[in-house]
Amino acid sequence: MLLSLMIFIPLLGMVVVLLLPRESEELVKRVTLIFTLIPLALAVYLFISYDRSTAGTQFFHGPVPWIDAFNIQYHVGIDGLSVTLLLLTALLGPICVIASWRNIEKGIKAYMALFLLLETGMLGFFAALDLFLFYVFFELTLLPMYFLIGVWGGPRREYAAIKFFLYTLFGSVLMLVAMIAVYLNSNIVNGVAEGARTFDIPTLITLAATQGHALADPDFQVWVFVGFFIGFAVKVPIFPFHTWLPDAHVEAPTAISVILAGILLKMGTYGLVRVNMAMFPQGLAHFTDGIGFWGNSLALLGFINIVYGSFCALAQTDFKKLVAYSSIGHMGFVILGLAARNSEGITGAILQMFNHGVISAMLFLLVGVLYDRAHHREINGFGGLGTRMPIYTGITTLAFMASLGLPGLSGFVGEALSLLGAYDRFKFLTILSTIGIVVGAAYFLWTLQRVFLGTLNPKYEALPEINGREILTLVPLGILTIVLGVWPNFAIDMFRESVTNLIDVLHAI
């Protein structure tokens, strides 16, 4: 019940916001803030009271029958992986509302309403335990995102918005085919149909591990794996499905970039863990067993993401585009860690998901702060800002260091664990992947030098320092970065049992 409350409170908030008068903008913002703070409070409660000693899903609601004709149920629950990401989502909610406080000029009511709808979609996605429900929540985030980029975005917003929409929809229709195929085969044992079909994810995971069940057929698993994989790969994004991301990020308003990098990309990797790995271990094995081209393909994609993303970031002169490409690079570590299929790799990947959510959110907020003042993002157009904006410079340096993987800050732990796990399985690719870390350090340090060091550009002598509201959005994220850097078990404890459980599933085949 608590979980459902958390998911649908933003939706209720959307209705409330829509009923408020259009003129009272301050009221709209405050109401939205309240409706994002409630899920945060609930998420913190769930995070604290979650039983860390078990891998089983907790805080169930359902299964409640929804569409009987197809045995579709409303069924939500959380395990260690989802509770971490729910906390991240709920945390970024109010932060984004505060970040949007001053710089959304038109239609604030519609903006906030769409934002709340988006939050319901994201929270529901991480908690759904019915495949159909999972898909509906997945797609529910599309429409608000399309409008948030398309209406409130930068100069090329229309192009970016439709590109995002089409790419994601292309991925999700392939996922839909795979989903229907799973449903249709869910009651076939040894070639004979038995009982009712189901969309229930825990049941499907059990069935897919049952000898003789149609879902356990290796060939079937490989095909369905590919269908789901492309759907999630567009979202992550994994090369070559990544080209929508730089466009969407550059055009989106600051808060939406934060959500995009912080949560939407994680939806892709979360889907990979929840569906592709847990449900189709044999499909996964086909692409990660290290034999031949296909056996290395997933690790290869991770490697390409890391190296390609980093080099692309190095070449950027637009601050926001640089951060966008660095996201592609960092998501590569998640893929590499998952491809390792061992405890270190998967733990590292999940930790990296959370850390990247925090760090990239910080980076995009920081880019937004600078853009609001200077009205451009050209890295070479600045210089010497360190003397003018010391606090801003300090926070940015922290975020940069965390992102480039400085030990002691959170980015390091996730990447190190991913590489550690991957080295065990894919030595050559892992060694090559470290190039990405070096390049990552290069572009962040170079950017630091170009923007903050050197002589101050006279144009920006009057640039105001970061203000209290902006600091308020960055502080919680900054604290998390440091805490997770020195005490990663704070997060790892949450999903340790879930990972052990997943490893058991993966090794059972």
Partner 1 sequence: MKNIDSLLYFTPEILLVIFAVAVILLDLVVKNRESSAVAHLSLVGCICTFAAVLFLHFSFGDEGPISLFLGMIRLDAFSSFFKILLLLATAATILFSLRSEELDARLKGEYYALLLAITLGMFLMASSTNLLMIFISLETVSLTSYILAGFLTHNPRSSEAAFKYITYGAVASGTMLFGLSFLFGMTGTGDLAQIAGRLTELLAAGDIAPIAVLIAITFVLAGVGYKIASVPFHMWSPDVYEGAPIPITAFLSVASKSAGFALFIRFFYTGFGSTELMQAVDWPFMLAIISALTMTVGNLAALPQQNVKRLLAYSSIAHGGYLLMGGILLTSEGIGAILFYLVVYLFMNLGAFYVVVLIANEVGSEMVDGYRGLSSRAPVVAVAMMIFLVSLAGIPPFAGFFGKWLLFTAVLEQGYYWLALVGLLNSVVSLYYYARIVKAMFFEEADEETDSVSFSTGTFALLSVFVIPTIFIGFLNIFYTFSNISVSVLPIQ
SS (H, E, C) 199-268: CEHHHHHHHHCCCCEHHHCHHHHHHHHHHHHHHHHHHCCCCCCCCHHHHHHHHCCHHHHHHHHHHHHHHH
* Interface region with partner 1, contact rule CB under 8 A, candidates 27-35, 75-83, 174-182, 456-464: 174-182
- In the complex with partner 1, which residue's Cβ is closer, 1 or 166? 166
124 near partner 1, judged by CB under 8 A = no
Cβ closest to partner 1, residue 67 vs residue 479: 67
Site string for partner 1, 15-54 (x = CB under 8 A): ----------------------------------------
Q: What share of the chain is helix, strand, coil (3-state, %, to 5)?
A: 75, 5, 20
**In angstroms, rounded to a whole number, what is the distance separating the alpha carbons of residues 160 and 447?**
25
Shortest Cβ 308–partner 1 spacing (Å): 25
Q: Which is nearer to partner 1, 52 or 197 (CB)?
A: 197
Find the binding residues for partner 1 in span 130-169 (CB under 8 A).
Answer: 135-136, 139-140, 142-143, 146-147, 150-151, 157-158, 161-162, 165-166, 169
145 or 494: whose CB is closer to partner 1? Answer: 145
Looking at residue 222, its amino acid is: V
Task: Report helix, strand or coil for 506.
Answer: helix
Q: Which two tokens stand for residue 417?
A: 């664990």
Task: Pick from 19, 23, 53, 69 the residue near partner 1 by CB under 8 A.
Answer: 69
- Does residue 64 bind partner 1 (CB under 8 A)? no
User: How many residues contact partner 1, by CB under 8 A?
Assistant: 31
**Closer residue to partner 1, CB minimum distance, 69 or 196:** 69
Stated as kind and residue range, the H or E segment containing 61 is strand 58-67
* Span near partner 1 by CB under 8 A; candidates 62-70, 237-245, 263-271, 301-309: 62-70
| Smaller CB separation from partner 1, 50 or 183 | 183
Nearest distance, CB of residue 114 and partner 1, angstroms: 11
- Please state whether beta strands 58-67 and 188-189 pair in parallel, antiparallel, or not at all (unpaired): unpaired
Is 174 an interacting residue with respect to partner 1 (CB under 8 A)?
yes
Token pair in block for residue 481: 């970065």
Torsion from C-alpha of 185, 187, 191, 192, nearest 10 degrees: -140
- How far apart are the C-alpha atoms of 7 and 251, rounded to whole Å? 28
Give the Cα separation of 321 and 274 in Å (integer): 30
For 219-253, letters b (16+ CB in 10 Å) and e give ebbbebbbbbbbbbbbbbbbbebbebbbbbbbbbb
C-beta of 47 vs 170, nearer to partner 1: 170
Q: Which residue of 8, 170, 311, 371 would you call a contact of partner 1, by CB under 8 A?
A: 170
The residue range among 180-188, 208-216, 301-309, 319-327 that interacts with partner 1, by the rule CB under 8 A, is: 180-188
Candidate list 47, 60, 66, 460; residue touching partner 1; CB under 8 A:
66
Q: Which of 364, 342, 170 is nearest to 258 (CA)?
A: 364
Q: Cβ contacts of residue 15 below 8 Å, gap of 6+?
A: none
- Smallest distance, partner 1 to C-beta of residue 396, A: 32
Compute the Cα dihedral for 449, 450, 454, 458 and give only its sign.
negative
Rounded Cα–Cα distance for residues 46 and 67 (Å)? 29
Beta-carbon contacts of residue 178 (< 8 Å; ≥ 6 apart): 223, 224, 226, 227, 228, 231
**Between 90 and 140, CB nearer to partner 1:** 140
Out of 59, 183, 228, 333, the only residue in the binding site for partner 1 (CB under 8 A) is 183
Q: Which is nearer to partner 1, 180 or 438 (CB)?
A: 180
Report the residue number, 158 or 461, with the smaller CB distance to partner 1.
158
The residue ranges that bind partner 1 (CB under 8 A) are: 66-70, 135-136, 139-140, 142-143, 146-147, 150-151, 157-158, 161-162, 165-166, 169-170, 173-174, 176-177, 180-181, 183-184
